[in-house]
Amino acid sequence: MPANPTRFAALCAAALLTIPAAAQQNQTLLATPTTVAWGFYSAKATPVLTVHSGDTVTIQTLSTCGSPERLKSLGIADADIPPYVADIYKNYPASEKGPGGHILTGPVAISEAEPGDVLEVRIQKINIDVPWACNGFGAGRGFLPNDFPYSRTRIIPLDREKMIGHFAPGIDIPLHPFFGSMGIAPPESAGKYNSAPPWMHAGNIDNKEMVAGTTLYIPVNAKGALFEVGDGHAGQGNGEVDITALETQLTGTFQFIVHKAQPGDNAQHLLWPRGETPTQYIAMGFDEDLKTATEMAVRNMITFLAEQIPDHPRLTRDDAYALISTACDVDITQLVDTKSGVHVLCPKNLFTTPR
């Protein structure tokens, strides 16, 4: 289990759905034509696996780099393309694709989850499954479409032992693998929701802080929560300005914990996703307008510091606003997913007095 001593569980220990250790299960979900959702999150999606709160699932995913034919045209050896990629591209029903382009593994239902609860997703382990990543931009896409009105894709070899990507002679990129898209069903009224824009269900948040050992908290909108994951990245810069990162194939291990809603308890009432690392609290905001996304992220951190922080004295809203300005970082997560993302990082070492 990752080091995460100030989990959201401390907010609502009495409400935590406790599962005895002996009852916890470890399962594996492989990527196949019948276990992926191509381009969408949906409250009406049929679960491909159902687990209980406390269970752990290892989930295999695809990259966004394309079909085996496209990968081979880019110079990737056939032996370095996992066989399940061809199976999915060949046998996934065309009528079920879209409206987005991400191939997400799932959904996984957590049987105890109900609308109004919070799903805690502990990211325990992430493996890079192939020795390559792709990066590309297309005409009319990315943050500077008028500067680059054409398409280009390149392959970046990955050294998984040294954990570096060989971008070019003399340029090596340290790898920090994470999933660009981790999310659950949006509200049922959203229908078959495009996998590209992040929202209250999390989804395509593209937050490079969400590496192994970190935790994502998501407000539950549908029975079972319906977790999906994909869009593996070997690394990324904040902004993801050309529209892709070091896109690659990942397998991740996740533990799911349901926190039951308690009427009138604002300490556990979550409206937007939040993250936590061993050293930082993370609040998020998403909107088509970057300023609005920034306002959302700052307000969400103010609410956390004033009403929800679990292990330290809570601040007044005035002091929370001031602390963010004097000691926290407001970073652009990404600028290219229809809705821009902004996250606020609040260092845990600021707090020296336990609650």
Q: Report whether 275 contacts 207 (CB < 8 A).
A: yes
Residue bearing tokens 């382990």: 125
- Give the CA radius of gyration of the chain: 20
Residue predicted with more confidence, 16 or 26: 26
- The whole-number pLDDT of residue 269 equals 78
Q: Where are the beta strands (DSSP E) in 6-102?
A: 26-29, 36-38, 40-41, 49-51, 56-60
d(CA 56, CA 108): 11
Could you give the CA distance from residue 64 to residue 76 in angstroms, rounded to a whole number? 14
Average per-residue pLDDT in the chain? 93
Distances (CA, A) of 203 to 15, 149, 200, 344: 26, 28, 8, 18
Residue 80: pLDDT band with limits 50, 70, 90: very high
- Largest interatomic CA distance in the chain: 58
Cross-strand partners of 347: 280
Angstrom CA distances, 338 to 160, 197, 343, stand at 32, 5, 16
Q: Is the pLDDT of residue 353 over 90?
A: no
Decide if 67 contacts 38 (C-beta within 8 A).
no
* Residue 266: predicted pLDDT: 57
pLDDT tens digits, residue range 165-212?
A: 999 999 999 999 999 999 999 999 999 999 999 999 999 999 999 999
91 sits in which H/E element: helix 83-91
Rounded mean pLDDT, 117-129? 98
What is the structure's pLDDT at 311? 87
Which residue, chain included where needed, has tokens 């660009």? 180
